[in-house]
Amino acid sequence: MSRSNDDVLLEITPQVLLKAYACGIFPMAESADDPELFWIEPDLRGVLPLDAFHVPRRLRRTVRADHFEIRVDHDFDAVINGCAAPAPGRRKTWINRPIRRLYGELFELGHCHTVEAWRDGHLVGGLYGIALGGAFFGESMFSLERDASKVALTHLAARLIAGGFSLLDTQFVTEHLKRFGAVELDKRAYASVLETAMRIEGDFHRMGDPASGEISGAAVLNVLEGR
């Protein structure tokens, strides 16, 4: 991973942030209390190939059963709060005040999106990330109930395929993401797929609004199987 003291960001705008994503770098903070951000450019970049997105068998049943109500871009603040909250195996968060401000502004501009899992009127899981060209840069996810974030990720993959996206960037690869087919690309390979994605104009909302009831888990799986 590349990081330099010269790369500390004292001030950054949403427009600068989008340019950074287009160049293959993204910001992080040391902790929620740290007022500064710094650029990250991993030596190995995590991606989830959309043409080989794998849904484990048990999760497939959960998706098909529509156990959760999936909403898109419904409550950004609640999602980022969920991502920033302590969780098993994660006592601290890197989501600080500048991150909240910047991604909130990008949400208002239509570049930051959420996929949310709700049950009985409560947000129980979800994710957020940046859509730019034909790339979606996943930032963080959280889950308060079993499979909530996994179902949200599955819905995201289908939405990206339907919208003509070519890249789902996960920044890093975890054991959790490996179950879905995540792989690591070196800088040269990543730069190539990113360049291709930047030439595409993806449509995050082409699949429609899940709250309409027209996008079922079965429809999501059909998109993934028909890719």
Residue 64 burial class via C-beta count within 10 angstroms: exposed 0-12, middle 13-18, buried 19 and up: middle
Q: Does residue 49 fall inside a structural domain?
A: yes
Q: Does residue 68 fall inside a structural domain?
A: yes
Strand partners, 89: none
Q: What is the CATH number of the domain that holds 166?
A: 3.40.630.70
If pLDDT is split at 50, 70 and 90, which confidence band does 208 have? Answer: confident
Residue-wise pLDDT tens digits, 2-40: 444 344 444 689 999 999 999 999 998 887 788 888 899
What is the Cβ-side half-sphere exposure of residue 207, based on CA atoms within 13 angstroms?
A: 28
Q: Does residue 19 fall inside a structural domain?
A: no
Q: Does residue 149 fall inside a structural domain?
A: yes
Residue 160 has pLDDT above 80, yes or no: yes
Q: Does residue 14 fall inside a structural domain?
A: no
User: What kind and span of H or E run contains 197?
Assistant: helix 187-198
Structural domain count of the chain: 1
Domain of 51 in residue numbering reads as 43-225
Specify the pTM.
Answer: 0.92
Instruction: Please name which of 214, 83, 221, 84 lies closest in space to residue 148, comparing C-alpha atoms.
Output: 83
Q: Does residue 80 fall inside a structural domain?
A: yes
Q: Does residue 22 fall inside a structural domain?
A: no
